[in-house]
Structure 1
Amino acid sequence: MTQHTHTELLETLHECMTACNHCFDACLGEEDVKMMSACIRLDRECADMCNYLENAITRNSPFVAELAAACAKICEACGNECKKHEHEHCQRCAEACLKCAEACKKVA
């Protein structure tokens, strides 16, 4: 497994991480932050996991498949939570997360 093999996944992971970081920040500015707590928490988990998997791929980790399986699960959970909220940032994040979950499943 090489970094070149996963070029598309690397881009998808980075897009998801960026969307989650944006959603996290935007959720903190919402009027009812407490209502957004699950979304905020999953945004952090998802962004961190995408970042970790991106790093693992670039260093040719022997655990890419296992990490991709975990990343898929976290991205799916985050995407499903974000879909519950009508905010534009949540909807964009949900789309990025669910796309990333599918990409990770192909590698897992």
Structure 2
Amino acid sequence: MNPKYDECLEACIECLKACNTCFDACLREDDIKMMAGCIQLDRACADACAFAIQAMTTNSPFVKEICRLCADICESCARECAKHEHEHCKKCAEACLKCAEACRMRSL
């Protein structure tokens, strides 16, 4: 594994955890229909982070493209989570923005 990915890997791992936590908490909210977009993007973002982690830890020749896609998905998830007042959504949005920034740096 290439040490130049350390910061991005850490951000992806934290984002994946935050998205999974948010996903689980959203499923338990009273108005689950209102949370549908958040739930969907939490899942997509966690999956993208897992894919980026895999790409970085295997030195994939497509790591830049995968990190760029991960950043785009993280930004979408952050925008959706920011629409909600729940603490889990706020934490998820913050983790997603941090991950998007780290992934953008890896995609250059």
Q: Aligning the two structures, in what range does the TM-score lie when normalised by the shorter sequence? A: over 0.9
Moved over 6 A (4+): none
Paired position in structure 1 for 2:68: 69
What is the correspondence of 1:17-28 to structure 2 with a 5 Å cutoff? 17-28=16-27
**How many residue pairs get matched?**
107
The separation in 2 between residues aligned to 1:101 and 1:4, in whole angstroms, is: 19
Q: Helix, strand or coil: the match of 1:62?
A: coil
Identical counterparts, % of pairs: 59
Paired position in structure 2 for 1:89: 88
Unmatched 5+ residue regions in structure 2?
Answer: none
Matched letter for residue 81 of structure 2: C
Q: Helix, strand or coil: the match of 2:100?
A: helix
Shift of 1:43: 0.1
Matched letter for residue 17 of structure 2: T
TM-score norm. by structure 2 comes to 0.97
Q: Helix, strand or coil: the match of 2:105?
A: helix
Matched letter for residue 96 of structure 1: A
Unmatched 5+ residue regions in structure 1?
Answer: none
The separation in 1 between residues aligned to 2:2 and 2:25, in whole angstroms, is: 32
The separation in 2 between residues aligned to 1:9 and 1:101, in whole angstroms, is: 9
When the two chains are superposed, the root-mean-square deviation of aligned CA atoms in Å is: 0.7
Paired position in structure 2 for 1:107: 106
Q: C-alpha offsets along residues 5-52 of structure 1, whole Å, 9 cap, x if unaligned?
A: 111111100000000000000000000001000000000000000011
Paired position in structure 1 for 2:48: 49
Shift of 1:4: 1.1
Shift of 1:3: 2.4
TM-score norm. by structure 1 comes to 0.97
